[in-house]
Amino acid sequence: MNLPALHEMATGERRANGGTHIHTCVASGCLSSNSQAVHDSLTAAAVDADPNSDVRACAVGCLRLCSEGPLVSVTQPDGEATLYRNVAPEHAASIVGALNGGDAEVDTVDPDHPFFAGQEGIVLENSGKVEPERIESYVAAGGYESLYHVVHEMTPNEVVDEVTRSGLRGRGGAGFPTGVKWATVAKQEAAQKYVVCNADEGDPGAFMDRSVLESDPHRVLEGMAISAYAVGATQGYVYVRGEYPLAIKRLTRAIRQARRLGVLGTQVFESFFDFRIDIRVGAGAFVCGEETALIASIEGQRGTPRPRPPFPAESGIWGSPTLINNVETFANIVPIVREGTDWFASIGTEKSKGTKVFALAGKVRHTGLIEVPMGTTLQEIVIDMAGGTPDERQVKAVQTGGPSGGCIPASALDTPVDYESLAEIGSIMGSGGMIVMDDQDSMIDVARFFMEFCMEESCGKCAPCRIGTVQLHRLLAKLTSGNGTAADVAALEHLSDVVRHTSLCGLGQTAPNPVLSTLRHFPEEYEAAITK
Amino acid sequence: MAVVTLTINDELTSAQEGVTVLEAAANADIHIPTLCHVDGVGDVGACRVCLVEVVGERKLQPACMTPVREGMVVQSETERLRGYRRTIVELLFSERNHVCSVCVANGHCELQDLAIDVGMDHVPYEYLYPDCDVDATHDRFTLDHNRCVLCSRCVRVCDEIEGAHTWDVMGRGTSSRVISDLNVPWGSADSCTSCGKCVMACPTGALFTRGAATAEMEKDRSTLAFLTRARGKNEWVR
């Protein structure tokens, strides 16, 4: 594969796509409400209406407003777009009929609604536009050109510098500067290095990575290939959880297509750069999202973490330097290379650059995926974009960061979403789950739910996490059942401190966060739970 | 080999490069409590009892796995660390059914010694009272899960010294159990050579010689120590 051939493929695909498009979301959210049948009947209806028409029905990735699925987006040749919601297979004829003017008898969504207007698409720029199962569709959107550019026109150091200057930080939650991580791996002298994409997204309520993989798998592969070139790796793994069969299927297909095209495998783009990607499927352990446990799991061992240092950047898979980044981090690489670091650095806040994808869930009117520039306030996300609670109740708290994060009270909704601000208020950015709670929800219950999750997901290797989470859960259960005492709350605080500071890995070290943040922001609920 | 100097508990001491803080402390006669560490096999840093404060490090580090560095300043006996250690031991006692008065290892138990060492006088947490099995299928030894603290000494000794890898851990969280082979009764585990190193390495009464009665099980580490020393000095190299 070379650049002219890539361009030829893109042009051919664009020409074939000149007419009207009917895009049906076939990511997990809409699929669960029967969008595959909707897509099939739209395809049939388009052919029935006019066998020679230039109308194309495409199965695309996430159209974001998951609560209103199945979603169908129709784009006319003049660019005019209509987004239909709650589409059923029997609506197909009506939608196709409306292509030549008139209105379909299907509910539509206002494209200028704040839910869409407030978004900025970097990671999700192709989501809902390209067909995840066809590499041609990704190439037509400019795919793999950045990889060509990197492999043929840049030195590995230049790529690392580019990422460093962009200010990109890890999207897995901790926010470690990506460029520093790349540079560390790049500087290691080793015969073999690895690149790993962490797709073991396990936080309850989070589905960003899943959506990216299901909607635009090639972008993640291209980001991985660019990173491999930059750090000098020849083998990559995507560690994806077994609970995401569709993501695994699409990734497998994408890897096969990319290898066949010669943009992965040996001699990428006829250069001396080799890069092979394999998939490793997780077996349902949350802790395998922790990088050292993930490495153990890839090696075929029991997925338990080990103390760091040494960090995987020095000693990872089979002792080789290993670069581990999250799905969303890799998905940011292509736009950075394509548009330049200045462009990327101009988005977001001073210390947190770019955008962040959040999976909005819980008591909000519009649930789904949103991608907003860093620094957007929770108020804008939860109230303006997501429309607040569905039954006009008061928003009580927003939970970010899943079991490692915390609850942010409604009084702090003006907090901007960036790594530092969220940490300051006792939560974390996390991987991007955002759960909204209203005044009917008990904060102790929320803490108990997350503690139960950590208790069940603790690997059992280190004592404080293994037993501490069980004891914390017991104390919380005692409080929610109305039998708690002041001594229990004191024990809760003490034990949270111990588990946080003595546990081996991030799971245990952050497991008390939901307790600590609710103790901090909602002390009155704990006081009310104490039996006098 | 290069030598570094470091400060442990305000005491200036020297250590060979590459050794751990735990070894350096032991050399300087500074006692840092441990549980999952056993001489001669690799460390895993699982029990978290030997955590120390290292000046300049944000997180507490396990002494058994932290290599010494020039100019390092280590504290192992701060009020905070003592509190953490005691809580961890309390948690360990609450996890399974540690009833010293009827335990084969009573009086010779490292968990018991550790409890005294850290000043534990009672367990402020609810006992979990899990339903644990006793595996008495082996003709020489017995495994009592009620006393197991999941330190994984048996797993490492069997794997690294005996080379049999009979033991491993199954399950997660508090449901974790040490298993022989692919979770078969110990007596029918084909890989077991009946060498008994796991029994001798076990800190508690979880692994003991068949037939031992209350307080009778004394662990003899001399074989392990001999093997470790001989290997360390390459005495078996042909």
How many Å apart are CA B35 and CA B111, to the nearest integer? 7
DSSP label at residue A62 = -
Determine, for residues B172 and A463 on separate chains, whether the beta-carbon distance falls below 8 Å.
Answer: no
Domain-located, residue A205:
yes
What range defines the domain where residue A28 resides? 16-109
Domain-located, residue A120:
no
Residues A408 and A479 in one domain: no
Please identify, among A344, A368, A399, the residue that sits at the C-terminal boundary of a domain: A344
Q: How many CA atoms lie within 13 A of B30 on its CB side?
A: 24
Determine, for residues B173 and A458 on separate chains, whether the beta-carbon distance falls below 8 Å.
Answer: yes
Range 144-183 of B in CB contact (< 8 A) with A: 149-150, 152, 168-169, 171-176
Determine, for residues A307 and B62 on separate chains, whether the beta-carbon distance falls below 8 Å.
Answer: yes
Residues A67 and A159 in one domain: no
ipTM: 0.95
Determine, for residues A466 and B95 on separate chains, whether the beta-carbon distance falls below 8 Å.
Answer: yes
pLDDT value of position A516: 95
Cβ atoms of residues A379 and A413 within 8 Å: yes
Q: Contacts for A343-346 with beta carbons within 8 Å, 24 or more apart?
A: A344/A122, A344/A166, A344/A167, A344/A168, A345/A165, A345/A166, A345/A167
Q: What is the DSSP string of A297-325?
A: HHTTS------SSSPTTTS-GGGS-EEEE
Residues A166 and A245 in one domain: yes
Q: Is B135 helix (H, G, I), strand (E, B) or coil?
A: strand
Residues A424 and A375 in one domain: yes
Determine, for residues B172 and A460 on separate chains, whether the beta-carbon distance falls below 8 Å.
Answer: yes
Give per-residue burial for B126-156: e unless 16+ CB within 10 Å, then b: eeeeeeeeebeebeebbbbbbbbbbbbbbbb
Q: Which two tokens stand for residue A24?
A: 């049906």
CB pairs under 8 A between A and B: 96
Residue of A456, A494, A509 with shortest CB distance to B173: A456
Residue of A463, A503, A509 with shortest CB distance to B92: A463
Task: Give me the CATH code for the B98-226 domain, please.
Answer: 3.30.70.20
Domain-located, residue A23:
yes
Residues in A touching B91 (Cβ below 8 Å) = 463-464, 467-468, 471
pLDDT value of position B10: 96
Residues A258 and A157 in one domain: yes
How many Å apart are CA A504 and CA A451, to the nearest integer? 17
Separation in Å, CA of B235 to nearest CA in chain A: 28
Domain over B3-77 is classified CATH 3.40.50.720: no
Alpha helices in A193-290 (DSSP H): 208-215, 217-231, 245-261
pLDDT value of position A337: 95
Cβ atoms of residues A174 and A347 within 8 Å: no
For the segment B65-88, what is each residue's pLDDT rounded down to a tens digit? Answer: 999 999 999 999 999 999 999 999
Cα of first residue to Cα of last residue in chain B, in angstroms, is 25
How many Å apart are CA A61 and CA A215, to the nearest integer? 4
pLDDT value of position A532: 58
Q: Is B44 on the interface with A (CB under 8 A)?
A: yes
How many Å apart are CA B141 and CA B189, to the nearest integer? 13
pLDDT value of position B235: 77
pLDDT value of position B238: 57
Give residue limits of the domains in chain B. Answer: 3-77, 98-226
- Read off the CATH number of the domain in which A422 is found: 3.10.20.600
Suggest the residue from B126, B172, B182, B204 to mutate for an interface test with chain A (most A CBs closer than 10 A): B172
Residues A411 and A461 in one domain: no
- Read off the CATH number of the domain in which A513 is found: 1.20.1440.230
DSSP label at residue A395 = E
| CA-based nearest residue in chain B for residue A498 | B84
How many Å apart are CA A83 and CA A74, to the nearest integer? 6
Give CA separation, A332 vs A197, A223, A224, A226, A294, in Å: 13, 7, 10, 11, 22
Separation in Å, CA of A281 to nearest CA in chain B: 19
Q: How many CA atoms lie within 13 A of B100 on its CB side?
A: 12
Residues A204 and A285 in one domain: yes
How many Å apart are CA A249 and CA A31, to the nearest integer? 14
- The residues pairing with A395 across neighbouring beta strands, listed in sequence order, are A438
Residues A91 and A208 in one domain: no
> Which of B92, B74, B73, B96 lies closest to B84 in space, CA to CA?
B92
Domain-located, residue A400:
yes
Amino acid at A65: L
Mean pLDDT within B98-121? 96
Q: Which two tokens stand for residue A467?
A: 């037993």
Number of domains in chain A: 4
Biggest CA–CA distance in chain A, Å, is 78
> Which of A422, A408, A473 lies closest to A445 in space, CA to CA?
A473
How many Å apart are CA B132 and CA B175, to the nearest integer? 10
Check whether B236 has a pLDDT greater than 80. Answer: no
Task: Determine if the peptide bond prior to A321 is cis (ω within 30°).
Answer: no
Determine, for residues A460 and B124 on separate chains, whether the beta-carbon distance falls below 8 Å.
Answer: no
Determine, for residues B91 and A459 on separate chains, whether the beta-carbon distance falls below 8 Å.
Answer: no
Residues lower than pLDDT 50 in chain A: none
Separation in Å, CA of A484 to nearest CA in chain B: 13
Residues A164 and A282 in one domain: yes
Other beta carbons less than 10 A from residue B47's beta carbon: 31
pLDDT value of position B237: 62
> Tokens 């939560």 label which residue?
A427
pLDDT value of position A69: 84
Residues A50 and A96 in one domain: yes
